[in-house]
Amino acid sequence: MDVFLQQLINGITLGSIYGLIAIGYTMVYGIIGMVNFAHGDVFMVSAFFALIAFLVLTSWIGIGSVALALLIVLLVSMVLTGLLNWAIERLAYRPLRGSFRLAPLISAIGMSIFLSNFVQVAQGPRNKSIPPLLRGEFVLSDAGGYVVALSYKQIVVWVVTALLLAGFWYVVRYTPLGRAQRACEQDQKMAALLGVDVDRTVAITFVLGAALAAVAGTMYLMYYGVISFADGFTPGVKAFTAAVLGGIGSLPGAVIGGLLIGIVETMWSAYFSIDYKDVAAFSILAITLIFLPQGLLGRPEVEKV
Amino acid sequence: MATQQVSIDDATREAGGGAVRRAVKDAAIWGLVALGVLGPLVGLHAVQDIRGFLRLDGRWGLLAVLVGLVVAGSLFGSLVVEPWKERRARTRPKAHPLAERARVGFGRWFPPVAIAFVAVYPFLALWLTGFSGSIKWIDNFGIQILIYVMLGFGLNIVVGLAGLLDLGYVAFYAVGAYSTALLAKEFGLSFFTLLPLAGIFAALWGIMLGFPVLRLRGDYLAIVTLAFGEIIRLVLINWVPVTNGYAGISGIPRPTFFGIPFTASSTGFAKTFGLAYSPIYRGIFLYYIILALALLTAWVTVRLRRLPIGRAWEALREDEIACRSLGINTTNTKLTAFAIGAMFGGFAGSFFATRQGFISPESFTFMESATIVAIVVLGGMGSQIGVAVAAVAMIGGTELLRELDFLKAIFGSAFDPTQYRMLLFGFAMVLIMIWKPRGLISTRSPSVFLKERRAVSGSLVGEGRG
């Protein structure tokens, strides 16, 4: 039971990160029907932005307060990643909109290769690690020598994720921007006829998705303390798995899917074998798609002639 | 006509001032974006100091150069490329999709010429660069490119003909390679016995993996195949007793020339034929094996397109519902496409194992699948010539970067062109897609026609939703 509780805590933390990335996939898929393959690498780049912002703050400016540093790092990373994804959308995807279906996918795969190799060339192939930022933890139970603990880091991940998701949900639900987004999702042509600037809405969708990926990237860096140029692919695919599991196009689905994938992964590592944890995640993906193609909260696709 | 041209030119000149102002504004925006994004990534370099802590080094010069390039590129784009595109769109009438007969001629003479060239290529390389110099051109270029040509042809059956997007093709390549390696090591079978076996195993895996995913369509199918590809790779890594994990399998026997090995021993190929020993003979032999395999794949595809099954594949790609209404068994059609594509992947894997003599899971990453899919799509899905051209351009182009040592003279000795290989590969994928979304060869030659064969524009060909 103690092991279960501890793994549940770890799983929710990991799942929050997956959920944040998954929203980027699900939104882009919802609005332009494209699997944004480069999103995992955008997440990785955002962690590098966070790393460099952190180094600037600590070694050049010398900020002592961890909370303030974390906040600044988070904001810097969100803004820069948003900018990056805006540029990517503009250069690599927008010229291909309305073209045939595989073209943007290939362009996105090319972009993914480009981003990871760009970071490798620019920042070197080695792992970059930072000293742990927050050390403390709450001990929840200490029965029988097995300590169940909730670390400060995990609390930060939970709180930041929850706050941003709430803010994001508000934006999509109650602002004109969110309305435009949902309109484009349903019918781009009609939305354009009614005065919605589709190009701008799509661009903002990419920026928002990137900002959430940047939150995930910053949290990832803070939680694990290490990042490398190759760290984009696997979390990216798992986050996509989460998006599909939750029902692609559905925002709450993405978060639920992310949490489920995170929990399954940690549970699998604890009870079966850590080697096969990724196999478990990918098997879930395959099994969900085969038996429940629309995902947990998705709408079933209607086939029209 | 002439007056109209003049008036349009006048209008452009009048708008010229505004266009320049807009171009400058755009360039300034792009410059700022580049500064924001590249500033931290390029301008600041996080390096590890002796104590293992990270420290930041500034690279402001490089940053300035890159931002300058972005600004210049943006100016060039809006002042040169955009007007040129507009002028071209105005002056050149849009070609009718069916009126591309000139291309058919290209499709007629190109394949025989290309085949003749690749058939004499090893001897050409030998003649031009000598015994020691040609091994690189035959092995690194010839064989490497032909492996990808073959994989491209194999995947082309699944993606180009049947319209099923498979992002896990590397799984079958891995099955072929590992079955060859394991059977050769355990039972001492020779390459030529194992080649068909590897194909059969890969086809069986194709059916096994294909069966559950056939209900899926479009992107979902792509993602599930990706997941299967990753699962197979992860199993190869973790199932250490059988696959030896990350360490891989080494000492896979090399193919022999009708029982004569390519070694320096007295029974070796060179001694038997009274030649001086050189590793080049094995290279040439391997080159012709993979050439034969690639041509076999191409030929089988061409023939299959004319059989009912090939027609069913293409019909499936065009419209699945219509297919079902006309009584085509879509499950069987998809499964055969999957299995036959997988079989060729297995052949290629078997060849890869025996050529390298060593395989490890590192060779079967998602990157490989992505490369093969990219070759098929960049070539123009369904076009065999296109696939071959794309493989030569992408694989040959990136291999060529290994040869650019003279760049060291320009950028200093610390400059290593090979590390930019994949960077440029990704960049080229994006550029080619923007330039030609339908692939390099955007015409198709139909397998059924009424009076004469005419090339059809690729934009009239369906891409499949399955």
Distance from CA of A145 to the nearest CA of B (A): 32
Do A106 and B429 count as a contact with CB atoms less than 8 A apart? yes
User: Can you tell me the mean pLDDT for A22-48?
Assistant: 89
> A274-283, pLDDT tens digit by residue?
778 888 888 8
Q: How large is the greatest C-alpha to C-alpha distance in chain B, in angstroms? A: 84
pLDDT at B96: 55
Cα–Cα distances in angstroms (integers) from residue B175 to residues A88, B111, B363, in the given order:
36, 31, 12
Sequential DSSP letters for B174-191: HHHHHHHHHHHHHH---H
Q: Are B298 and B154 in contact (CB under 8 A)?
A: no
Q: What angle do CA B285, B288, B290 make, to 5 degrees?
A: 110
Closest chain B C-alpha to A164 CA, distance in angstroms = 23
SS3 content of chain B, % helix, strand, coil (to 5): 75, 5, 20
User: A87-106 pLDDT, tens per residue?
Assistant: 999 988 888 887 777 788 88
Q: Distance between CA B377 and CA B388 in Å, rounded? A: 11
- From the list A101, A297, A223, A153, the residue with the least C-alpha distance to B159 is A101
Q: Above pLDDT 90, what percent of chain A?
A: 23
pLDDT at residue B388 tops 80 = yes
pLDDT value, residue B2: 46
Of A54, A81, A56, residue with least CA distance to A69: A54
**Per-residue pLDDT tens over the stretch B307-336:** 999 999 988 888 888 888 999 888 889 899
pLDDT confidence of residue A147: 76
Contact B213 A293 (CB under 8 A): no
Rounded to whole angstroms, how far apart are CA atoms B45 and B68?
A: 19
**CB-based burial label for B187 (10 Å; 0-12, 13-18, 19+):** exposed
| B152 contacts in chain A (CB < 8 Å) | none
Helix (H, G, I), strand (E, B) or coil at B57: strand
Q: Which of A109, A127, A273 to mutate to test the interface with B (most CBs of B within 10 A)?
A: A109
Mutation choice for A interface testing from B51, B54, B415 by most A CBs within 10 A: B54
- Is there a contact between B150 and B346 (Cβ–Cβ < 8 Å)? no
User: B400 near B377, Cβ under 8 Å?
Assistant: no
Closest CA to A42 of A229, A196, A250: A229
Q: Could you tell me the two tokens for B13?
A: 């000149």
Taking only the tens place, the pLDDT of each residue in B24-75 is 888 888 989 888 888 888 888 877 777 767 777 778 888 888 888 988 988 8
Mean pLDDT, rounded, of chain B: 82
* Backbone CA torsion sign across B127, B130, B131, B134: negative
| DSSP single-letter state for residue B77 | I
Report whether pLDDT(A145) > 60: yes
Domains of chain B and any CATH numbers? 10-91 (no CATH), 106-460 (1.10.3470)
Beta partners for A139?
A149
DSSP class per residue in B235-283: HHHH-HHHH-GGG-EE-PPPP-BTTB-SSSSTTSHHHHTT----THHHH
Backbone phi and psi for residue B117, each to the nearest 5 degrees, phi listed first: -65, -50
- Nearest by CB to A118, from B44, B377, B423: name it: B423
Separation between Cα atoms, residue A275 and residue A283, nearest integer Å? 14
Backbone φ and ψ of A96, nearest 5°: -100, 0
Q: Is the pLDDT of residue B98 over 90?
A: no
CB A81 within 8 A of CB A217: yes
**CA distances (Å), B368 to each of A92, A150, A194, B288, B371, in order?**
22, 41, 45, 23, 5
Contact assignment for A121 to B226 by CB distance below 8 Å: no
* Model pLDDT, residue B105: 59
* Nearest chain A alpha carbon to B325: A305
Using a CB-CB cut-off of 8 Å, the residues of chain A touching B367 are: 113
Q: Using CB atoms, which residue from B36, B218, B237 is nearest to A80?
A: B36
Interface test with A, best of B57, B62, B224 (most A CBs within 10 A): B224
Between these two residues, B123 and B460, which has the higher pLDDT value? B123
Closest residue to A285, CB basis, from B34, B224, B423: B224
Q: Is the pLDDT of residue B1 over 50?
A: no
pLDDT in tens, A45-75: 999 999 988 888 887 777 777 788 888 999 9
Q: Give the pLDDT score at B3.
A: 47
Two structure tokens written together for A33? 């029907």
Separation between Cα atoms, residue B455 and residue B97, nearest integer Å: 9
> Has residue B259 got a pLDDT over 80?
no
Put simply, the answer to whether A124 touches B47 (Cβ < 8 Å) is yes
Residues paired with A129 in a beta bridge: A226
Average pLDDT over residues B176-200: 90
Pairwise CB contact (< 8 Å): A289 & B218: no
Structure-token match 């060869």, residue found? B441
Side chain identity at A79, as an amino acid letter?
Answer: V
Min Cα distance B419 → chain A (Å) is: 7
> Which position has the token pair 């992107």?
B219
Contacts of A247 (CB under 8 A, 6+ apart): A253, A257, A294, A295, A296, A297, A298, A299
Question: Which of A234-243, B91-100, B132-141, B395-404 is least confident?
Answer: B91-100
**Euclidean distance between CA atoms B68 and B70, whole angstroms:** 5
CB contact under 8 A, A121 and B420: yes
The mean per-residue pLDDT over the stretch A22-41 comes to 88
DSSP string, chain A: -HHHHHHHHHHHHHHHHHHHHHHHHHHHHHHH----TTHHHHHHHHHHHHHHHHHIIIIII----HHHHHHHHHHHHHHHHHHHHHHHIIIIIGGGTTS-THHHHHHHHHHHHHHHHHHHHHH-SS-EE---S---EEEEE-GGG--EEEEHHHHHHHHHHHHHHHHHHHHHHHSHHHHHHHHHHH-HHHHHHTT--HHHHHHHHHHHHHHHHHHHHHHHHHHH-EE-TTTTHHHHHHHHHHHHHH-TT-HHHHHHHHHHHHHHHHHHHHHS-GGGHHHHHHHHHHHHHHH-TTTTTPPPPPP--
Interchain CB distance below 8 Å, A286 and B224 = yes
Which residues from B are below 8 Å from A123, CB to CB? 41, 45-46
Q: Which residues of B touch A96 (CB under 8 A)?
A: 433-434, 437
**Cβ distance of B56 and A56 shorter than 8 Å:** yes
Confidence of residue B21 (pLDDT cuts 50, 70, 90): confident
Kindly tell me if the per-residue pLDDT of A85 is higher than 90: yes
Site of tokens 């961890």: A66
Lowest mean pLDDT among A20-24, A155-159, A198-202, B250-254: B250-254
Q: Which residues of A touch B33 (CB under 8 A)?
A: 83, 86-87
Which among B218, B419, B426 is the nearest to A113, CB-wise? B426
Contact A255, A3 (CB under 8 A): no
Q: Judge: A293–B224 Cβ closer than 8 Å, yes or no.
A: no
Chain-wide mean pLDDT for chain A? 86
Lowest mean pLDDT, pick from A1-15, A85-99, A268-282, B258-272: B258-272
More confident residue, B422 or B197: B197
CA distance B100 to A275: 55
Residue whose C-alpha is closest to residue B264's, from B278, B244, B243, B285: B278
Q: To 5 degrees, how large is the angle CA B307–CA B308–CA B314?
A: 95
Q: How far is A242 from chain B (nearest CA, A)?
A: 12
CA-based nearest distance A122→chain B, Å: 6
Which residues in chain B have their CB less than 8 angstroms from residue A86's CB? 33
pTM above threshold 0.90 = no
- Find the range with the poorest average confidence among A150-164, B47-61, B346-360: B47-61
Contact B118, B297 (CB under 8 A): no
Q: CB B425 to CB A113 under 8 A?
A: yes
What is the pLDDT confidence band of residue A231, given thresholds at 50, 70 and 90?
confident
Amino acid identity, position B60: W
**pLDDT at position A284:** 81
Confidence of residue B103 (pLDDT cuts 50, 70, 90): low
Half-sphere exposure of B373 (CA within 13 A, CB side): 27
The pLDDT of residue B395 is 87
Least confident of A236-240, B390-394, B458-462: B458-462
Which chain B residue is nearest to residue A42, measuring alpha carbons?
A: B37
Q: How far is B47 from chain A (nearest CA, A)?
A: 8
B285 is written with which tokens? 């032999």
Q: Which of B30, B220, B463 sits opposite A102 (nearest CB)?
A: B463
Q: For residue B188, which of B251, B145, B230 has the smallest C-alpha distance?
A: B251
In this predicted structure, which of A280-289, B49-58, B207-216 has the lowest mean pLDDT?
Answer: B49-58
CA angle A282, A287, A292 (to 5 degrees): 130
Give the start-to-end residue ranges of the domains of chain A.
2-230
